[in-house]
Amino acid sequence: MQPIKAITLICFFLGLGQLAVAQNESNESYIKMYHQMQFMQEELMRLQGKIDHLENDLKKLKKQQVDDYVGLDKRIQDIQLNQTVTSSAAIPVKKPLATPVKPSVKKASLQKPKIAPEVEAQKKQPKETPSAPKAIDKKAQYKAAYSLIKEKKFDQAKTAFLAFVNDYPADRLVANCYYWLGELYILDGNLKESEKMFNKIVSDFPNHNKKPEAMYKLGRLYFDRGEKTKAKKQMQSIIDAYQGQNINAVKLAKDFLNKHFSQ
């Protein structure tokens, strides 16, 4: 019986040892998993911080883009609007021809014709003058739409510019409306509609000062869509069309080509 008891005790202690080893390995695995979870949580927090930082930078860039465009274009808009008002107000007025002087007639021979009461009443009524061109109202409407951009009310600005285009389809300021609509659609990420607005300037207003800027914007849109060959051709067309002229779009096109196609 003694050998059996001894063997039994040996087996018992061996079992305890294996159990302790298994328990130790389990604890080590648990600790390892815990550290992995901690690392993953820290990495997730770090990545989330980067995402938040990038989103904040993107918002700042969009805001800065709009502010830059507003600042660059404001002086040109004011000059154009003042020229519009001046040209509409400077309409020559014809002076009435001098009436010939009639020879004097004796008072005795003058007789006042009888005038019917209805005619006399009509003479006393003030005559209605035709209304003057509403250049001031047009200017105010455009300025109101433009001010919405500065107030960052972009959806309202789009509605206001579209209303101006509908009210005054033949006015030169319509080209400016198309330009700002193109910019606003870029902020919305609607590049297709933005391209349509800039193309309207190029096709419908060939002599407008906004045309070279619209051409440059089209080149940028093509590049952003991955159409690099088309973008390069567009930028070169600006340089060829306005070479030698003091136009900012020419300088921007040259800088763009040097930056992206110099190699």
| Burial bucket for residue 238 (CB in 10 Å: 0-12, 13-18, 19+) | buried
In terms of residues, how long is the chain? 263
Q: What is the reported pLDDT for 36? A: 63
pLDDT given for residue 70 in this prediction: 63
Rounded-to-integer distance, Cα 120 and Cα 177, Å: 52
- What is the spatial distance between Cα 204 and Cα 176, in angstroms, rounded to a whole number? 12
Which portions of the chain are predicted below pLDDT 50?
Answer: 85, 87-98, 100-101, 103-110, 119, 126, 128-132
Neighbouring residues of 157: CB distance < 8 A, sequence distance ≥ 6: 145, 146, 148, 149, 180, 184
Helix (H) and strand (E) counts for the chain?
Answer: 9, 0
pLDDT of residue 89: 46
Phi, psi of 245 (to 5 degrees): -100, 150
Q: Cα separation of 255 and 160, whole Å?
A: 34
pLDDT at 108: 41
Both ends of the chain: CA-CA distance in Å?
94
What's the CA gap between 25 and 120, in Å, rounded? 120
Radius of gyration (C-alpha) of the chain in whole angstroms: 40
What is the per-residue pLDDT for 51?
Answer: 76
What is the Cα–Cα distance from 255 to 238, expressed in whole angstroms? 12
Domains in the chain: boundaries = 11-65
What confidence score (pLDDT) does residue 143 get? 95
Q: Cα-flanking dihedrals φ and ψ of residue 169, to 5°?
A: -65, -25
Q: Do 136 and 88 form a contact (C-beta atoms < 8 A)?
A: no
Model pLDDT for residues 85-110, shown as the tens digit of each residue: 454 444 444 444 445 445 444 444 44
Query: Do the Cβ atoms of 162 and 174 come closer than 8 Å?
Result: no
Block residue for tokens 């035709």 = 130
Which residues contact residue 228 at a Cβ distance below 8 angstroms, ignoring those fewer than 6 apart? 222, 260, 261
Q: What is the pLDDT of residue 107?
A: 46
pLDDT of residue 123: 52
Which pair of structure tokens corresponds to residue 145? 């739409």
Q: Which of 230, 203, 209, 206 is nearest to 218 (CA)?
A: 230
Whole-number Å distance between alpha carbons of 213 and 183: 11
Global confidence as pTM: 0.54
Longest CA–CA separation in the chain, Å: 174
What pLDDT shows up at residue 124? 54
Scanning the structure block, which residue is given the tokens 């080893």?
A: 21
